[in-house]
Amino acid sequence: MNCIVIEDSEVQRKLICHYIEKTDYLTFKRDFVDAVQAVSYLRNESVDLIFLDISMPVMSGMEFLKSFESDAQVILFTSHEEYALEAFEYNVIDYLVKPVSYARFMKAVNKARAGFEKNDNEASDEIFVKVNSVFEKVNITEILWIEALADYVIINTDERKYTVLSSMKSITSKLPSKDFMRVHRSSIIRLDKISKIDNGVIEIGGNKLIAIGRSYKKEVMERLVTI
């Protein structure tokens, strides 16, 4: 899992970074002294796990959770316990009180790892989406691509389009990552529907062209191009 650390304390930041580098299934990507810098980074890069301090200047960890959407799982850490209840309203994986031991760090990380693997292995072949006031069943194997439109996502199949009030983060969590991939902030594709890739553009189903986002290009090419 690719990780970033958002922590204004140099001592605590270095400690968490050390724990990440010590854990073989975690890959350290970047660390940040404030959440504003992290927001700029996440607009162009995707990560699997965020280690987030709550008490920071400019933008607190809670403000970060409220204002920014990310597909990543989040582990919070702080010197104070009073935010715990509010934190779990944002579906964080765990809440660590400083100073954090490596054993406690590993307990939290193992929760994140289990969630990461569960998304890959236990996805259903069908999902229900709310279209207007009706819940409709969509066969995942029939989805070609998904696109973001303001506060909605549009699920495109061969037969029809479903316009659903949802975030990209929410819809991604319902899809098996072995079959789907986010290739742009506004686009998710089904991998076995790709016809070809040409000059940073993916062709889906023989007629739909979807641009690969600059920050997603390396990951897309590493995953899809084998020669």
* 227: pLDDT strictly greater than 50: no
**14-36 per-position pLDDT tens digit:** 999 999 999 988 999 999 998 99
Is the Cα torsion angle 79, 113, 184, 175 positive or negative in sign? negative
pLDDT, position 211: 94
Residues 66 and 155 in one domain: no
For residue 12, tell me if it sits in a domain: yes
**41-74 per-position pLDDT tens digit:** 887 787 889 999 988 888 888 888 887 766 788 9
Residues 145 and 202 in one domain: yes
Domain CATH number, residue 186: 2.40.50.1020
* 175: pLDDT strictly greater than 80: yes
Task: Residue 15: give the domain boundaries.
Answer: 2-121
Residues 7 and 99 in one domain: yes
For residue 36, tell me if it sits in a domain: yes
Facing residues of 6 across strands?
A: 32, 52
Residues 60 and 159 in one domain: no
Domain CATH number, residue 64: 3.40.50.2300
pLDDT, position 115: 74
Arithmetic mean of pLDDT over the chain: 85
C-beta of residue 78 within 8 angstroms of C-beta of residue 56: no
Residues 161 and 112 in one domain: no
Residues 107 and 150 in one domain: no
Domain final residue, candidates 90, 121, 152: 121
pLDDT, position 88: 61
82 band by pLDDT with thresholds 50, 70 and 90: low
pLDDT, position 57: 82
**5-14 per-position pLDDT tens digit:** 999 999 999 9
Mean pLDDT of 196-207: 88
Is the Cα torsion angle 54, 88, 17, 170 positive or negative in sign? negative
Residues 74 and 50 in one domain: yes
For residue 85, tell me if it sits in a domain: yes
Amino acid, res. 172: T
For residue 200, tell me if it sits in a domain: yes
For residue 127, tell me if it sits in a domain: no
Higher pLDDT, 110 or 223: 110
pLDDT, position 189: 94
Mean pLDDT of 169-176: 80
154 band by pLDDT with thresholds 50, 70 and 90: very high
Burial class (CB in 10 A: 0-12, 13-18, 19+), 227: exposed
pLDDT, position 226: 58
Domain final residue, candidates 89, 121, 153: 121
Domains held by the chain: number: 2
pLDDT, position 206: 79
